[in-house]
Structure 1
């Protein structure tokens, strides 16, 4: 999807080593995400579907609002789209990019800077009732450490709502048969090579539905539900087909996953 920020790649307070700078090519990744011209929106259709799944999981607002962390909040536009469905809950935006957080402050009341390395989020163990993790995991250098950190901040029984582009989307299957690089995949941060599209999106890895389910399970989560969402960048003549593909999540453009931390 269009990039938000890598989130796991920097410090929450500026005092520790930035993992992005530890290899020769990572400064380019850091600069890519701090570039204010990089688009950050992910599409209202995905945001709304994901928010509905989360609202259903959380249930009606209680006297004490549920704490929802929007990890990789970008400019806050996804949280704004989801806000009517999450009324009564406290949503905290978390991102690595200072520029993204500056923009998010105009749309969200609570934002903090953090990373997803071991203990990198400036939050206590089990502090969150739910985590929104929208089109972030495909940008991460170390998704294993990221999921460990998300599991740490979630309370037992807490919800993880994750979305990511589908490597096995219906059109990607056809493109691969034709010898074309799949949509959403990236070979360079400097230009597009061998695939459709006009924007460099900064994806480091992509997942199929099966791989994502196995990865989450191996990382200590229970997968409750997997659904599909359309991609706003699909050409207009193909959008009806893209919406229909959501009925079979393994072929949909976007994978939506509801997982939970065991216990509770």
Structure 2
């Protein structure tokens, strides 16, 4: 069965991501789990405040969820969208425009202790260049906290067996074709747990931990199953990866 939900035509990829109506996050549970992982790694700010860059911060809602767990640390929102930065400033005191190109982030080499990279990599044309730039701004041993939808989520495995386009994957920026759901979110690349590990390792990082998180878009009757799947990250809806810069 093929479904199609249309959205207004846009002139290009940048216009698509500038649209504030486009959903940009997989929900509060993911933000909380990721923030807890980072807080455990950084420790309390009483031992020394750390600089954390939230790269691709969007409207700042994920940072607002994480902020209480990162109290005392310096959280800086980074995005290329001026509209997103204006909205993010309501949730975080420091915001700055930057791009994930060579030298596109306005920070010195090794300036950051940690980078939050949430729900961004799946939207990128050049993820290799993006991780190169993130690696540049991280100090040696600095932490990367990356989250992204899981192509091999438990329900996607069943959908593929039935010949249905997996959730999170998209063939158009204008409409949904061949998969469940109603929202076009602009995913260009998707990762399995194995692919994400290999990709991040090849980019000069050491993977420390891979965890799972639930997805708010799963139908409510299936929420218990989705949370259960988090125990095996390769089956979970969202992949949460912690890596260190080598």
Q: TM-score range by the shorter chain?
A: over 0.9
Pairing of 1:66-81 with structure 2 (within 5 A): 66-81=50-65
Contact 1:190 1:200 in 2 (8 A): yes
Give, in whole Å, the separation in 2 of the partners of 1:115 and 1:56: 28
SS at match of 2:12: helix
1:108 correspondence with 2:112: no
SS at match of 2:139: strand
Instruction: Tell me how far 1:63 sits from its aligned partner.
Output: 5.7
TM-score for both structures, normalised by structure 1: 0.88
SS at match of 1:106: coil
Give, in whole Å, the separation in 1 of the partners of 2:241 and 2:79: 21
Instruction: Tell me how far 1:97 sits from its aligned partner.
Output: 1.2
Per-residue CA distance 1:96-115 (angstroms, 9 max, x = gap): 11111110011110001110
Match of 1:195 in 2: 179
Pairing of 1:1-264 with structure 2 (within 5 A): 28-62=12-46, 64-262=48-246
Contact 1:72 1:93 in 2 (8 A): yes
Give, in whole Å, the separation in 1 of the partners of 2:83 and 2:233: 34
Match of 1:4 in 2: none
SS at match of 1:211: helix
Give, in whole Å, the separation in 1 of the partners of 2:39 and 2:149: 22
Instruction: Point out 4+ residue stretches in structure 1 off by more than 3 angstroms.
Output: none
Give, in whole Å, the separation in 1 of the partners of 2:69 and 2:18: 30
Give, in whole Å, the separation in 1 of the partners of 2:186 and 2:43: 35
Instruction: Tell me how far 1:64 sits from its aligned partner.
Output: 4.1
SS at match of 1:195: coil
TM-score for both structures, normalised by structure 2: 0.94
Give, in whole Å, the separation in 2 of the partners of 1:205 and 1:40: 15
Deviates more, 1:107-116 or 1:58-67: 58-67
Give, in whole Å, the separation in 2 of the partners of 1:41 and 1:166: 14
Give, in whole Å, the separation in 1 of the partners of 2:96 and 2:179: 35
Contact 2:148 2:239 in 1 (8 A): yes
Contact 2:25 2:119 in 1 (8 A): no
Give, in whole Å, the separation in 1 of the partners of 2:146 and 2:60: 16
SS at match of 1:216: helix
Give, in whole Å, the separation in 2 of the partners of 1:105 and 1:253: 29
Question: How many aligned residue pairs are there?
Answer: 237
Give, in whole Å, the separation in 2 of the partners of 1:208 and 1:244: 18
